[in-house]
């Protein structure tokens, strides 16, 4: 009990110097804890997004010797789509078709996927066409952030056009447009008019959006067809099995498969940032320990009450234990405060960065089901879970060592002076 009482009196007696020391150690500990939290949180997000990207396989159609793509049989796509380990899929086609529909005059160029049409080509009555499977059309056009007048073009002979294209040609929902070369025109009904507010890759296309049944109907008028396919599997372990099934399909024998490499550019940028953060964290841990030792060494030498208590006859063990308890309380309070503050600070710092990573992945592959990683405090690599406690523990050991060495010096010096006399 006397140890606790003396520790409390020490805290009150030295409250001003303790406040200065505590503020410094708190800022230092907060910096280290925040860097640890940011690194752990970012590592978990990066790992989970990398694993999700690893389950996505893309197929890019190879061109034949004439520079044209071979005819795609959508039945083969439907068979692959029904495989039990296929989570989501998307079939996209790009082409052009003759049309009297004019592009918006304010655009000098309209870029569509793998094609680029100059204003001269657009004036030559060529309209870009994008084909999507029915599920992808629903995903794109029924997103709550998209503005769609009308319905999704799931029926044969229907389409959706952009709002800019509709305004330029004074078209509205249920109007009929004619597509195809002169003498081969075919009628297509406008099922909807869309304002692509969130899907950037389709936002400025001013393209005709149709499904593959309508593509079959317009086949004789469509020129330069080119298609890509995407499959999201339930696990990256299923990739080898999927590749075998994919190559069995006649329609996909001339496709080149791309696995995780399609996302390497985005993920590598995040990986480089994590490596830089890791190096900074190691420096902060080492420098933090050195600063604690230096600052505390200065602080402990300024304390005069050790002399007074010793001269008053306070036992060395009580003086040592009470002083150790004094700094243990300080470190515990600082550690808990820094820990909880760093949690909030790390969420604020990493929030925009990690959401931007998800947004960039979604923009590059919008039809993938990107799941937001779930972060828990006990998740992540083992060393990350204990590095903060280790840092605080080392700081506490340094404090206890220095304070006991100081007390031993105070007691030893008078005895040495008496012995010399």
pLDDT of amino acid 160:
92
**DSSP per residue, 264-317:** HHHHHHHHHHHHHHHHHHHHHHHHHHHHHHHHHHHHHHH--HHHHHHHTT--HH
Question: pLDDT under 50 in the chain at which residues?
Answer: 65-67, 107-123, 199-204, 380-381, 415-421
Q: In this structure, what DSSP letter does residue 101 have? A: P
pLDDT of amino acid 403:
76
Distance CA 17, CA 296 (A): 11
pLDDT of amino acid 316:
66
Closest CA to 132 of 150, 117, 113: 113
CB within 8 Å of 9: residues ≥ 6 apart:
none
The angle at the Cα of 20, spanning 14 to 24, to the nearest 5 degrees, equals 140
Distance CA 156, CA 17 (A): 81
Positions of E strands within 99-157: 109-112, 115-118, 126-132, 147-150
pLDDT of amino acid 153:
93
pLDDT of amino acid 52:
86
Q: Measured in whole angstroms, how far is the alpha carbon of residue 175 from the centre of its chain?
A: 42
Give the SS3 label for residue 408. helix
Beta-bridge partners for 160: 192, 209
Looking up tokens 């992540």, which residue turns up? 380
Burial of 400 (0-12, 13-18, 19+ CB in 10 A): middle
pLDDT of amino acid 305:
63
Closest CA to 206 of 173, 163, 170: 163
Closest CA to 211 of 99, 93, 367: 93
pLDDT of amino acid 163:
85
Q: What is the pLDDT of residues 250-279, one digit of tens each?
A: 888 788 887 766 677 778 888 888 889 889
End-to-end CA distance of the chain: 38
Pairing mode of beta strands 147-150, 186-195: antiparallel
pLDDT of amino acid 67:
47
pLDDT of amino acid 106:
55
Distance CA 37, CA 349 (A): 10
Closest CA to 346 of 39, 5, 21, 25: 39
Closest CA to 194 of 155, 162, 241: 162
Distance CA 349, CA 55 (A): 29
pLDDT of amino acid 313:
61
pLDDT of amino acid 211:
92
Helix segments in 303-381, DSSP class H: 305-311, 316-364
pLDDT of amino acid 38:
87
Distance CA 183, CA 221 (A): 11
**DSSP per residue, 20-54:** HHHHHHHHHHHHHHHHHHHHHHHHHHHHHHHHHHH
Distance CA 320, CA 306 (A): 10
Pairing mode of beta strands 126-132, 176-179: unpaired
The angle at the Cα of 282, spanning 276 to 284, to the nearest 5 degrees, equals 100
Burial of 313 (0-12, 13-18, 19+ CB in 10 A): exposed
């Amino acid at each position: 009990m006397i140890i606790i009482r003396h520790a409390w009196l020490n805290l009150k007696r030295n409250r001003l110097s303790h406040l200065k020391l505590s503020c410094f150690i708190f800022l230092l500990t907060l910096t280290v804890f925040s860097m640890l939290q940011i690194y752990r949180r970012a590592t978990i997000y990066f790992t989970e997004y990398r694993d999700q990207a690893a389950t996505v396989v893309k197929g890019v159609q190879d061109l034949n010797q004439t520079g044209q793509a071979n005819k795609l049989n959508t039945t083969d796509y439907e068979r692959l789509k029904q495989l039990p380990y296929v989570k989501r899929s998307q079939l996209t086609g790009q082409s052009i078709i003759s049309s009297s529909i004019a592009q918006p005059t304010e655009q000098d160029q309209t870029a569509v996927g793998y094609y680029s049409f100059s204003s001269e080509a657009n004036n030559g009555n060529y309209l870009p066409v994008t084909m999507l499977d029915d599920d992808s059309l629903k995903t794109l056009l029924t997103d709550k952030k998209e503005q769609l007048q009308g319905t999704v073009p799931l029926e044969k002979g229907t389409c959706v056009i952009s709002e800019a294209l509709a305004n330029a040609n004074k078209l509205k929902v249920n109007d009929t447009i004619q597509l195809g070369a002169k003498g081969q025109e075919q009628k297509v009904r406008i099922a909807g008019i869309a304002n692509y507010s969130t899907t950037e890759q389709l936002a400025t296309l001013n393209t005709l959006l149709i499904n593959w049944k309508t593509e079959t109907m317009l086949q004789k008028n469509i020129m330069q067809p080119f298609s890509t396919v995407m499959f999201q599997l339930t696990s990256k372990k299923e990739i080898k099995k999927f590749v075998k099934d994919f190559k069995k399909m006649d329609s996909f024998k001339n496709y080149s498969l791309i696995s995780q490499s399609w996302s390497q550019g985005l993920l590598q940028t995040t990986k480089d940032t994590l490596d830089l953060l890791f190096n900074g964290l190691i420096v902060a841990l080492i420098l933090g320990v050195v600063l604690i030792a230096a600052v505390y060494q200065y602080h402990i030498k300024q304390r005069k009450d050790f002399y007074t208590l010793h001269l008053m006859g306070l036992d060395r063990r009580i003086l040592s234990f009470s002083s150790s308890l004094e700094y243990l309380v300080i470190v515990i309070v600082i550690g808990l405060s820094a820990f909880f503050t760093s949690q909030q600070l790390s969420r604020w710092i990493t929030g925009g960065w990690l959401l931007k990573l998800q947004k960039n992945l979604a923009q590059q592959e919008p039809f993938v089901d990107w799941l937001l990683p779930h972060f828990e405090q006990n998740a992540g690599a083992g060393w990350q879970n204990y590095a903060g406690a280790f840092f605080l523990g080392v700081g506490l050991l340094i404090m206890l060592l220095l304070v006991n060495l100081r007390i031993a010096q105070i007691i030893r010096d008078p005895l040495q002076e008496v012995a010399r006399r």
